[in-house]
Structure 1
Amino acid sequence: MAAKNSESAYGWVAIALHWLMAPVVIGLFALGWWMRQLSYYDPWYRQGPELHKAIGILLLIALLLRLAWKFLNISPADVPGTPRWQALAARLAHGGIYLLLLAIMTSGYLISTADGRAIDVFGLFSVPASIQGLPNQEDIAGEIHEILAWTLMGLVALHALAALKHHFIDRDATLLRMLGKPGKPERQRSIIDEPNHESKHKPTQDLSASK
């Protein structure tokens, strides 16, 4: 498998970044939701947020790498037979996911650095608090962070359902391409493209006989 994308397939770099980031995004959401349930005296009350912030910074790095790789590569063409509105909806969903991730990480950064402390990333490096002291910075950023996180999960769920719909209902190669598999020949085009079963076998009417 090539590293770069082609007209018909994703390269291994794009595929690896996709499947690396997907579980991390969902895991960070689950971790954030779980942290809200912790009591002040729970040992994870302080450890949880530190873990959440560190993983969030690493996810931001992966996202920036993915966006850079996306701009440096061509995007595979739509699977033949995909309706134009579905192709447009997919592009809007992808763009929405990227924008939401950037906004969520920005708000998370504002929450984490509101007190002027840098974000430590597993002792490897730290991200300085370059923005601090804004009015109600932590509270406002926290509300935005939560709303955007739930919105992102909704969009991710729709994205996953659409992929399953392509695989099991349309029986096309959309999901297989992101798994690095070309798919069987019958999956190379959508069943929307297939002729009606009846029209395949219906004999052509002899118009001269009706005259």
Structure 2
Amino acid sequence: MQIRNTTHAYGWVSITLHWVMALLLIGMYFVGDYMVELTYYDPLYHTLPFWHKSIGIALGFALLFRLVWNFSNPKPATIQGAPEFTHRLAKLGHLALYGLLVVLLISGYLISTAKGKGIEVFGLFELPALLASNEQRGEIAGEVHEIAATLFMLLVAVHALAAIFHHVYWKDNTLTRMLGRSSQA
């Protein structure tokens, strides 16, 4: 398998970014959902938010790299067999996924820095708080973050179901080429 994308197939960098980010983002959703219910005396009260924030920042850098990678590589040709409207829906779905990721990253940053403190990232460096302390901003950002995360997960489910539908119904290689196999299914 090649490193870079071609007009026929995704390269291993694109495939790896897709699956690693997908797994981490799904995990982040469930960890985030769990950790908001923790009480101060729970042993995971400080641990889970530290990892959630650190992984969130790492995902932000991965997203930037992925966008640069996507724009600097050819996009594999549109798969024939499915109706044209599905290609337009796929483009809109991908834009919505990326848009929601940006909203999640910004709102997560605003939640984490609402008390005027930076975000410690894996104990390696601190991402500074660029805005003054503001508890109300943190509350609003928290609501936005929760809504965006839920919408993101719903869209991920639609995305996965669409890939499976392509594979089973139209018998094209939409799914298999993101698994590293570019031949027709």
Show CA shifts across 1:138-183 (max 9, x none).
1010011001110000000000000111112221111111011023
Report deviation, 1:88: 0.4
Change (3 A) 1:40 1:135: closer
Show CA shifts across 1:112-144 (max 9, x none).
011111111111221111123347111010011
| TM-score, normalised via structure 2 length | 0.96
| TM-score, normalised via structure 1 length | 0.84
Q: 1:132 is aligned with what amino acid?
A: A
Q: Distance in 1 between matches of 2:179 and 2:135?
A: 46
Q: Distance in 2 between matches of 1:181 and 1:20?
A: 17
Q: Secondary structure at the match of 1:45?
A: coil
Q: Secondary structure at the match of 1:44?
A: coil
Greater length-normalized contact order (CA 8 Å, ≥ 6 residues apart) = 2
Do the aligned partners of 1:110 and 1:132 also contact (CA within 8 Å) in 2? Answer: no
1:45 aligned partner:
45
Q: Distance in 2 between matches of 1:33 and 1:132?
A: 27
Q: Distance in 2 between matches of 1:180 and 1:48?
A: 33
Q: What is the correspondence of 1:198-209 to structure 2 with a 5 Å cutoff?
A: none
Q: Secondary structure at the match of 1:103?
A: helix
1:18 aligned partner:
18
Q: Secondary structure at the match of 1:136?
A: helix
1:191 aligned partner:
none
1:153 aligned partner:
153
Q: Secondary structure at the match of 1:29?
A: helix
Report deviation, 1:45: 1.3
Q: Secondary structure at the match of 2:126?
A: strand
Compare 100-109 and 131-140 and name the one that shifted more: 131-140
2:162 aligned partner:
162
Q: Secondary structure at the match of 2:158?
A: helix
Identity %: 49
Report deviation, 1:32: 0.4
Q: 1:163 is aligned with what amino acid?
A: A
In structure 2, stretches of 5+ residues that fail to align are none
Higher Rg:
1
Do the aligned partners of 1:5 and 1:75 also contact (CA within 8 Å) in 2? Answer: yes
Q: What is the aligned length?
A: 185
1:112 aligned partner:
112
Q: Is 1:63 paired with 2:50?
A: no
1:83 aligned partner:
83
Q: Distance in 2 between matches of 1:120 and 1:12?
A: 31
Report deviation, 1:68: 0.6
Q: Distance in 1 between matches of 2:72 and 2:132?
A: 34
Runs of 4+ in 1 over 6 A off after TM superposition: none
Q: Distance in 1 between matches of 2:118 and 2:55?
A: 14
Q: 1:152 is aligned with what amino acid?
A: F
